[in-house]
Amino acid sequence: MIRKITVWENNFLLIFSDAVRLYEAAVECENAGLNSVLAKSSVLSVNYAIEAAANSFLQSIKMTKVLQEKIDKFSTLDKFDFVLQWHTDHYLNSGDSDVQAVRSLIRNRNSMVHPTVTTRSISVETEVAQDGTIRHSAIQPEPRKGQDQKPKLLGDDPELYTHEDAKAALQVMTSFLNIFVYWWGVGFEVAETFLFQTWDGSINARQVMFRKDQITVLIRNDHFLNIQFMGIHGMFKGEEKPA
C-alpha cells in the first residue's frame, strides 16, 4: 500500500540527545582540557534544546503572521510564559527555583556566545629561571575559613566546566520541562507531539518519529535525567534498560 503522508519536522530530540552524548563523551574523556571542551559543548546544546522546546510549544497556538513575528522576538522564558498564559490561568513565577535555574543557565550561555571584554586585578609572582626564562604565576588567594574550594557547578567561568557541569545543565532542563508540562496541565502524550518529529500515517500507534539511538541514549541516562515531559520507554523491542 502506497500512501501520501505529512511529516512535521522538529529538531528538539536531535539537539537534546546530542547534548547527552556530549556529556557521555566528557565522562569518558580523561584529558582535562578536552573534558572541558566537551562539557561546554554539552551545556550550549542544552541551551539550544531549551530554546527549541520553547519554539516547539509555541506551535500549540494558532497565531497570525504579525503576532508570530512579535513572539519570535521574545526571550526564551517569555516564550514559555506566553504558552502557559495562553492555555492556562498560570504564569512563570520568577521566584520558582526551576525558572531561576534556567534563567541562570541562559545567562551563562549568553556570556559564552556574546563575550565582552572585562578587566580584573590579580597578584602575580614573577621568577627568573637559571636559563634566563621568565615565568609568571598567578597567586591564588587564601580561601576563607569554611569556604568550599571546589568551583560551583555552572558557575560564571565556563573554563572550569567539567562533565559534572554538563550533567547539572541537563538536569536543569529536564526538571524545568517536567514542571512546565505539569503547570500546563497536559500529559506527556500531548507534550511530546510538539517535541518529536511526527507524521499522520500512524495506525493505532503514537504519531512520533525518532531514531532508535536518540531514544536509547536518553533511556541510558534517565536515572539522573528523570524525563517525564515526554515518553521514552516502551518505544521499541529490545529497549536498553537503565543501569
Q: What is the pLDDT of residues 101-134, one digit of tens each?
A: 999 999 999 888 887 777 878 899 999 988 889 9
Q: What is the pLDDT of residues 135-174, one digit of tens each?
A: 988 887 775 655 455 668 898 888 899 999 999 999 999 9
Residue 140 within any structural domain of the chain:
no
Residue 118 within any structural domain of the chain:
no
Q: How many domains does the chain have?
A: 1
Residue 150 within any structural domain of the chain:
no
Neighbours of 204 (CB within 10 A): 4
Residue 195 within any structural domain of the chain:
yes
Q: Which residues, listed in sequence order, are joined to residue 208 by a DSSP beta bridge? A: 198
Question: What domain range includes position 168?
Answer: 7-112+157-225
**Residue 39: is it exposed, middle or buried by C-beta count within 10 angstroms (0-12/13-18/19+)?**
buried
- What pTM value is reported for the model? 0.83
